[in-house]
Chains A and B, each alone.
Chain A
Amino acid sequence: MKWINLILRLILGGIFLASAVAKIWNVQVNIDYRVQFSHVPDLATFAQNVTNYHVPPRSLANLVAITLPWIELLAGGLLVCGIWKRASAVVITALMIVFLAAIGWALAHGYDIRCGCFGTVDARKVGVMALAEDGLLLAMAVWLAWCLEDKPQQATETNP
């Protein structure tokens, strides 16, 4: 069980770290597989991706684009490092529910848009595949939020 949780933590946290980095530094892979990225936080493209979802209110799309990748970065990083594991898993669970709702919204409205799941590094469109992948990630996050225990809490439980 310990091993499974460790592997899941590394996978899920790693995915969140990678997707956060891709969004914040606008990582792009060219047609000839050259990787390009900005040396400073550059969220304009990701903000456009968020805006494309047309989830109201429109004016808050930038705020989401500014804050979301850093929350992902922090939660993913903590999960990988094993600090505040359970709280990180809870945050990731909440984020996955939001992502799934956004993808569902786009599919329900028939928007033909980029997922933006990994920022600009992947050109994938929103679709059933993205829904399935995010569903899998949500399952992993729920599992971890359920199984992991933060250390101090364990101590209080064992102490009479």
Chain B
Amino acid sequence: MRRTYQRALAIVFVGAALGLGANAVSPRRIPFLTPPPEPPKAQDMAALEDAEALWKNGTGFFFDARSPADYAAGHIAGAISLPMEEFDDHFSLIAPMLTPDAPIIAYCDGQECDLSRRLMVRLRELGYHNVRHLVNGWTAWHTAGLLTHTGGQP
């Protein structure tokens, strides 16, 4: 029995060592410790007025980073559902509509929600540089009495 536990510990330590080694030599290595969440940057955040102006203008895209169920329950009118958790599945359908300069507002809901910022980062990685996120987007939008829709992706 004791031998079994010694071997089990050996498996854990050798496995961990392999993992650390493989990560260290991988060109896509990740830091040993998780970096703290980035503080929000002012130039990344859209003010509600800016978002509203863009929306009225009709030239921008609004991406809802929440789950499809949240989207169906209510979203900014004309927004496109792009759930951050299922980005790859959804984005291939949306990409043909976009140009690299397209003004994009990503939003989710709640002050703490990180989905829209992550969506912004992801879109920028893909070359869409004109992306900002609307903090607490859904709540801010509908409490301001701006136009909303319900239902799934059109």
Contact = CB atoms under 8 A, between A and B. Distances in A.
A, B bound = yes
Interface of A: 24, 28, 30-31, 38, 40-44, 47, 51, 58-63, 65-75, 78, 84, 86-88, 90-91, 94, 112-114, 123, 125, 150, 152-153
Given A60-B33, A62-B32, A123-B85, A71 B12 contact: yes
Given A40-B28, A44-B28, A47-B34, A31 B89 contact: yes
Given A87-B10, A91-B8, A51 B34 contact: yes
Given A40-B27, A66-B32, A75 B11 contact: yes
A65 B30 contact: yes
A29 to B, nearest CB: 9
B32 A71 contact: no
Contacts of B26: 40-42
Interface centre among B4, B16, B86, B88 (most CB of A within 10 A): B4
Interface stretch (B17-25, B41-49, B96-104, B130-138): B17-25
Interface of B: 1, 3-8, 10-12, 14-16, 18-20, 22-23, 26-34, 36, 67, 85-86, 88-89, 92
A38 B10 contact: no
Nearest to A43: B30
A112 to B, nearest CB: 6
A71 B28 contact: no
Interface centre among A31, A66, A112 (most CB of B within 10 A): A66
Contacts, number: 108
A112 B66 CA distance: 10
Report whether over half of chain B's contact residues are helix, strand or loop; otherwise say mixed: helix
Contacts of B6: 87
Contact of A62 (B34, B88, B89): B34
Interface centre among B30, B32, B85 (most CB of A within 10 A): B30
Contact of B85 (A42, A68, A69, A113): A113
A25 B28 CA distance: 10
A42 B88 contact: no
Contacts of A125: 85
